[in-house]
Amino acid sequence: MKSSWTGVALACLLALSAPAFAEDGYDLWLRVPGVADPALPVRAIVGSEAPSPILRSAIDELRDGIGAAYGAAIPEAERIADDSLVIGTPAQLPAVGDLDLPLAGLGDEGYVIRRAPIDGKSAIVIAANDDRGLLYGAFALLRHLRTTGGLDGIDRTERPAVALRLLNHWDNPDGHVERGYAGRSIWDWWRLPGHVDPRYTDYARANASIGINGAVLNNVNARADMLTRRYIAKTAAIADVLRPWGMRVYLSARFSAPIDIGGLDTADPLDPRVRAWWAGKADEIYAAIPDFGGFLVKANSEGQPGPQDYDRTHADGANMLADALAPHGGVVMWRAFVYSDVNPEDRVKQAYSEFVPLDGSFRDNVLVQAKNGPLDFQPREPFHPLFGAMPDTPLMMEFQVTQEYLGFSTHLVYLGALWEEVLDADTRVRGEGSQVSDVIDGSLHDYALTGIAGVANIGSDRDWSGSIFGQSNWYALGRLAWNPDLSARDVAKEWLAQTFTRDPAFVEPVADMMMQSREAVVNYMTPLGLTHIMGTGHHYGPAPWIDDLSRPEWNPYYYHRATRGAVGFDRTARGSDAVSQYAPPLARAWGNPATTEDEYLLWFHRLSWDYRMRSGRTLWEELVARYDLGVAQVADMQATWAALGDYVDADRFKKVSDYLAIQRAEARWWRDACIAYFGDVSNRPLPEGVEPPAKSLEYYRGLAFPYAPGN
């Protein structure tokens, strides 16, 4: 990204009129603002004379950011003048200590930004207890400048709501990214540690700018090789690059590693040899990476090994690893994404059934990491009933940034809207106002550890995320993890202002478009609580008809069970009784179709196609109307974008336009195929005036995508 700035400077020097580099999205939201921005009064940056690497990052960032913004380099000065920018901890700069700023309670990552008198001069102060707070303060100031163009209203006091704000990379050692739609892995495991790609610095810097403080580098479907000496050295090289940006590295650990690479004949978590092996492995990792974060584990899920292979519990497995990491300060993030093909229980109930009885039996350095919903990152699910149900175990949120089930990288879907819906959902476990965000930030149950993770959408593509708008989801993950109470729309506006332009004539309509995009994808893929009806394996495109796979819960049909008479999954007491996993007021409401929101109707209920909806339409008519609405919403998005060409450089404008055209065609495909299928099963004619599907049901059923990415 710095190279782009050099490019601009060169271009200016040589007085060339054409831009010296393509607008390919590489600079993300950290773009060089136009020189036409109003001049900033800052004259000098004053900070510690011997800054740590993290503080060095912060100071360089300010110098480059402000210099770039205003076309002049700001020299670091010893002396404080009016409008100097002063950055430091009270320990580094006694003048900052004298200000008596409200730093108590801000921890290591919080910061205060104030205009305040120092040495009789009016300075702009960034203060914190630790250099990490200074780094986040520096980025906050730059964000303010980039989004507002000046320093008015800059005063703020912030600390992150959750401690672990992580990306989870599902990246394999061979460079393939599971569910990745942005090229190959950015981690070049083969050339590491001999060659460390400069791109890792840009990656770390982008994460720091939005408060992300760690990354799990490898896939949860983990290879044990990642824990060998050879690979630990590679991970250590990445850790060295990420550290000056306040980021720690973590690894996904394969539970059977003691067998796979350790020469043991068991991975039983209660076997002393196994425990000793993991303890030794932890010592080895920490010798190479003293601030290693810890392990993420997918165990006894989708074929991964785990403690249940030895008749032990998830707690036995997690605690063994926790004991190995504890002496070094590491954590275990144990995933709750478990379900089994031999368990006949409704798949969405299984995690709760397995984990709630274990509440309180995990070590202090264990978090249980649950996906936002009980199924699997669908366009819409109710919140996971584990949230609120494990008061004695820190629960960590797992969101999916990569759009596995939401159209891959070519569909514009702003996930901030989805995550806001989940975070704001009221679990009702302690009466009204017990939101999921209160569980996650630890306030509801006094969790000592807190975290939010997002499955990354990052790859080797020049634009990082496989699309320009995909970047907004990476951005939103960081911002909402820092503060889950932020409004998703405000976050979208922040991102737009920094990524494109601050002009409200652009920002307002595009923010509306982004907020609508989530509802659009629900409507054209899985309206009214339908779920998991996408193509098997690759998860691309509609396939509600599939019902012949060996594992019942891998069949789309399992989730809707449409027949001539009815559709939907009965999760009331008459059915699987999944409603009983929610607090009584919700269980009551969701136990009755009349008090269930349309959004969750077919998730919780099995209803006649003639069921009368709130709209007055029958269920069948409403379903068709929602599919039509979804397609129309994408058409609206396309029209909105098409009118804004004057605000966006040609390269990015065209890319977004192309993708919206793909999205529109695919929304139509989803609508046509689903209407054709459900109309066929229910034997219903299309409602009056509705356009028939473009092709026959057989045509849609015959489509195959052997080369779909990410699989």
Residues at the site binding ligand GCW, with contacts judged by CB under 6 A: 170, 178-179, 220-221, 298, 302, 337, 376-377, 404
Say which residues have a Cβ less than 8 Å from residue 710's Cβ, sequence separation at least 6.
177, 178, 179, 180, 181, 402, 404, 408, 538
* Three-state DSSP class for residue 542: strand
Q: Are 62 and 85 spatial neighbours (Cβ–Cβ below 8 Å)?
A: yes
For residues 179 and 652, which CB has a smaller minimum distance to ligand GCW in the complex?
179
Closest by CA position to 25, among listed 502, 652, 497:
652
List 396's β-bridge partners, or say none.
Answer: 369
For residues 183 and 262, which CB has a smaller minimum distance to ligand GCW in the complex?
183
Kindly state the smallest distance separating residue 554's Cβ from ligand GCW, in Å: 10
- Position closest to ligand GCW via CB: 376
Q: Which of 23, 376, 441, 461 is catalytic?
A: 376
For residues 220 and 607, which CB has a smaller minimum distance to ligand GCW in the complex?
220
Closest by CA position to 312, among listed 267, 367, 375:
267
Kindly state the smallest distance separating residue 457's Cβ from ligand GCW, in Å: 14
* Whether residue 155 lies in the annotated active site: no
Query: Residue 624 belongs to what H/E stretch?
Result: helix 619-642
Determine the length of the chain.
711
Kindly state the smallest distance separating residue 535's Cβ from ligand GCW, in Å: 12
For residues 180 and 382, which CB has a smaller minimum distance to ligand GCW in the complex?
180
First to last CA, the chain: 31
Say which residues have a Cβ less than 8 Å from residue 430's Cβ, sequence separation at least 6.
388, 444
For residues 220 and 562, which CB has a smaller minimum distance to ligand GCW in the complex?
220
- Looking only at the bridges linking them, the beta strands covering 566-567 and 607-608 are antiparallel
Kindly state the smallest distance separating residue 400's Cβ from ligand GCW, in Å: 8
Say which residues have a Cβ less than 8 Å from residue 148's Cβ, sequence separation at least 6.
502
Kindly state the smallest distance separating residue 539's Cβ from ligand GCW, in Å: 6
Q: Which of 302, 424, 599, 636 is catalytic?
A: 302
For 165, 522, 561, 591, 619, the CA distances from 605, given in Å and listed in that order, are 36, 18, 11, 8, 12
Give the whole-angstrom CA distance, residue 124 versus residue 145.
13
Kindly state the smallest distance separating residue 529's Cβ from ligand GCW, in Å: 19
* Three-state DSSP class for residue 449: coil
Kindly state the smallest distance separating residue 555's Cβ from ligand GCW, in Å: 14
Q: Which of 404, 438, 461, 494 is catalytic?
A: 404
* Whether residue 666 lies in the annotated active site: no
Say which residues have a Cβ less than 8 Å from residue 349's Cβ, sequence separation at least 6.
374, 576, 577, 578, 581
* Whether residue 698 lies in the annotated active site: no
Q: Which residues are part of the catalytic machinery? A: 302, 376, 404
